[in-house]
Amino acid sequence: MPSKRLKFAVDDMLGRLARWLRLFGYDTFYEPGTGDAELLFIAIRENRKLLTRDKKLAERSGKIGHLVRSEFIGEQIKELMKVFKIKPVIQYTRCSLCNGKILPLKKDFAKNRVPPYTYMTKEKFYICSGCAKVYWEGSHKERAEKDLKRLFNENK
């Protein structure tokens, strides 16, 4: 399980990395269009590690900043595993879209929010506390794990 204290703020150039960090359960601020000064302010205020591909921003952010060196997502994840000891295990505790917490949802409340077949065939549903997206157990977890393995095998 991810460290409760390890949180990230990610710049515009690392959107895919932000999505994966959220899938791993890490609290990750990522909002496209956020300026460097605001991103740095958020990282300081919320005690987050600032991840960037911008050398100048990394230098300005001092100890809280980290310059992500690779442009390839698999290499980026490996770098964070080494530097921050992150664990690349799919958790589904954070929404990959908005970073909200994923919470259990009673089946009755999911009825009008999911396809009828899904409602009839699934028992467990979850909802994002931020954007209200409804999730359910399905093949997407296996696909994400398969994608992760593929990413680790790229660019060897």
Q: What is the pLDDT of residues 72-108, one digit of tens each?
A: 999 999 999 999 999 998 888 999 999 999 999 999 9
Taking the C-alpha atoms of residue 129 and residue 133, their distance in angstroms, rounded to an integer, is 8
Residues comprising the chain, all counted: 156
Overall pTM surpassing 0.95 (yes/no): no
Q: List all residues 6 or more positions away from 93 whose beta carbon is below 8 Å from its beta carbon.
A: 25, 101, 102
pLDDT in tens, 137-147: 876 777 888 88
What tokens does 95 get? 């929404």
Taking the C-alpha atoms of residue 10 and residue 71, their distance in angstroms, rounded to an integer, is 14
What tokens does 106 get? 């009673």
Cα dihedral sign, 51-24-105-111: positive
